[in-house]
Amino acid sequence: MKKNIILSVLLCAAGIILCGCENKAPDAADTIPAASITAEEAENIAISDAGINEADITSIKISRDSENGKNIFDVDISDSANEYEYEISAETGEIISKSMDVRNAAAPQISETVSIAEPVISETSPLDTTTVQPAVTESTTTSAPVSVSVNAAVPAAKSITEDEAKSIAFDNAGIKGSDVEYINVKPDRDDGRDVFDVEFYSGGTEYDYEIDAGSGKILSIDKDLENLKIPKNTETRSDGDKITEAKAKEIAFSDAGISEADAKRVKTEFDRDDGREIYEIEFYYNNMEYTYEINAADGAIIDKEIDRD
C-alpha cells in the first residue's frame, strides 16, 4: 500500500500468543482476540463514514485494542481541515464511537487602503489670492498619493438558534427529532468562538455535537454505543517453531506490495517485546520508509509504519 501517510497497525494472533516457548502461554493481558474484519476494511469504513477522499488524507493510524470486553480497531485520520477518531468493532465492522475536531485557523486580517490626494489649489481672483481645497478620494487620480493601511474588523456572522443547531445535528446523524429519547442543548464558548453543545440519545446510542454558533458548521462529533457487548474469541492455537527471518521479510514485502529486489537498505533484527519474540523489518522504497514488527511465533503483523523519508 503506497500512501504518503503514517500507518500504524497493531494486529495480534487469535487466542493465546506464544511467548517463544512451545508449551508456555503469554499473560492474558498480551492476548487480543482475532478480528473478523481486516485493518484495511476498518480503515475503509472510517474513510467512507467521514466522507473524505483518500487523496486528501495527510495521516492515518490504525491499531488493535481489547478493553472493557470490546474487541476493536482504533482508526485516527487527519486531512488538511479536520481530525477524525473512530472505534470500529473488529467483530462486526460496526462504528462504536467517532469524533471529529476542526483544526483552528487564524482569522484573516482585512486591510483597507485609503488614498489621500494632494490639496487642490484653485485661483479665485486675478490678484493672486488662492483658496486651498483639500480633497479625499477613494481612487488615485493625482501623483504621489499617501496610502494608509487600516486593519478593519471582520463583521460578526449571523448567529444560528438552538433549534437550528439541533436540526443540524439530527440531519448529520440521520435521525428524526421524534426518535430522540433525550436532548440537551447548551450554548458555550470554545477556542474564542461561540458554540452550541448538542447532546442526545437515540436507539441506544449517545451523540455529542459541537456546532459553531455563527456559521452552523459542525466542529466535532462524538458517537458512543451504550452497553455494547462483543463476545471474546476464546479459540486457542498451537504452532511449532518460530518462523524464519526470510519468511518474516516475505510477509512484510507482500503486505507492502513491494518486491524485495526493488527495496533499499533492508534491515532485519530479531527481538523480544512484551514477552513476545518478534522480527523487526525495515526498508526503503520510492522515498518512503517502511517499518514492520512481525510475530516470530505465527507471522502475524503486530505493527507497521510508513513514513516519508
- pTM, 2 dp: 0.33
Residues of the domain holding 122: 111-152
Quick: pLDDT tens for 103-140.
Answer: 754 444 444 444 444 444 444 444 444 444 555 444 44
Instruction: Tell me if 217 is assigned to some domain.
Output: no
Tell me if residue 239 falls in helix, strand or coil. Answer: coil
Instruction: Tell me if 222 is assigned to some domain.
Output: no
Query: CA angle, corner 208, sides to 207 and 209, nearest 5?
Result: 120
Instruction: Tell me if 179 is assigned to some domain.
Output: no
Quick: pLDDT tens for 193-229.
Answer: 999 999 998 887 888 899 999 999 999 887 765 543 3
**Pairwise pLDDT comparison (22 vs 81), residue with the higher score:** 81
Instruction: Tell me if 92 is assigned to some domain.
Output: no
Instruction: Tell me if 86 is assigned to some domain.
Output: no
Percentages helix, strand, coil for the chain, rounded to the nearest 5? 15, 40, 40
Instruction: Tell me if 240 is assigned to some domain.
Output: no
Dihedral Cα 45, 51, 54, 57, nearest 10 deg = -110
Distance (Å, whole) CA 40 – CA 38: 5
Average pLDDT rounded to a whole number, residues 31-48:
84
Query: CA angle, corner 43, sides to 38 and 44, nearest 5?
Result: 100
Instruction: Tell me if 29 is assigned to some domain.
Output: no
CB 35 within 8 A of CB 90: yes
Instruction: Tell me if 129 is assigned to some domain.
Output: yes
Helices (H), the chain: 39-50, 162-173, 245-256
Domains identified in the chain, total number: 1
